[in-house]
Chain A
Amino acid sequence: MAAVLGLIIGVVTGIFLQPDIPIVLQPYLPIMVVAALDALLGAARAYFERSFSDKVFVISFFSNVITATLLVFLGNQLGVGSQLTTAVIVVMGIRIFSNVSAIRRFIFRG
């Protein structure tokens, strides 16, 4: 409930404020968003498995975001930023898919 409410608040704020993100942050924001999405879906899966822990969620959220950002930052330092971005996106995508499939199994029992 809190998660849905928070999502709605964030989206509405983003729509109404429409701020310009600083250029330094520009390559990292999509990665952060995807990582956070993965954390959220992992939390949803844990919720359906009745093993949801808010502590774990908060930690996984931050660790996901920070790890992804650091990875892309490292890639930018090494000159392979876009490739690492792709790698992160791919991994997060796979995780999102597996989480969604687990959630689907819990919802549809199959």
Chain B
Amino acid sequence: MSREVVAMILAGGRGTRLEALTAKVAKPAVYFGGKYRIIDFPLSNCANSGIDIVGVLTQYESVLLGSYVGSGIKWGLDGTNSSAAILPARERGEVGATWYEGTADAIYQNISFLDQYDPEYVLILSGDHIYKMDYALMLEAHKARAADCTIAVLNVSLEEASRFGIMNAHKDGTIYEFEEKPAKPKSTLASMGIYIFTYQELKKYLIEDAKDENSKHDFGMNIIPNMLNDHKKLYAYEFDGYWKDVGTVDSLWQANMDLLADKELDLYNLKKDWKIYTSDTTSHPQIIGSEGKVTNSMVTQGCIVDGEVSGSVLFDSVHIGVGAKVVDSVLMPGVLIEEGAEVYKAIVDEGVVVEANSVINKEAKKVELVSVNK
């Protein structure tokens, strides 16, 4: 059955700048926001945008990510006409075992997957960004302009611009140049790594790119510049909501703090528009004990809080002992803060036990990562 659009989520990256957090899991599977994994965001966006077929391309530590995504039931993608398919780098008949050599190569290696749905458009997404976005609106814009490629961009500050891939575009949104991390940016339109391609065009470029031995097989470095050289129709689609690349320990911590500060990312769906779906556990309701005090924080089910928590995000089944103090921190599932211990400005990785009366990062100058994998 042919589809108008198929989404492909690039989820193979390790995310080395997340240090110990990605020692055993792929970056898209890293925990975020008290009960989510990062990949919940693009997957929920797909579900909410009415996209039925989602391919998830995996490579680094693909087992946990694969079993997490599963059939896509958590995002309602397991119907008769819908599917979430895990597409790992793998041994293939014609070429044997290969890795994904770049973002474009990853899609190239799955052309046969795409062909079976005969899509008109392909939506390329990154598995490691936090944002809520209606891809259907972006697709409408792509169709209205009969574009070959539409790239979602975020208007960043001039100082930030040199950290991103920058799209130089005319007033009508037509992109004429792409610069990767320019020292002197000409524009502040940063690529969000979200592309809609007209599939048959993309397919041609992927096949050509695969033959090019000098190519890095990357969308930003190769496919987009090649299309610009050929004067294909590339448009920038400006997004003005909350978007964060949580690629470092600092930015992951900051994005969690943003949730507490009621920034634009509205997890509480107060506008009733856009839920983020995730895996629910069977843990009990969260319990705040007689000695507990919780302010400016997010706490999820399974937690038992008998100490003092402020400015922090607590994941499933975190236990805070009597007299313990947790400030400006992110505590991942199953963390145990024993009696009288103190934790400041830290990300505490899954399952860590902070022993009674110990003190972590009291000076709180920078974010400290506490992990058994470190």
Q: Do A and B come from one complex?
A: no
Which B residues form the contact surface with A (CB < 8 A)?
none
- A residues whose Cβ falls under 8 Å from a Cβ of B: none
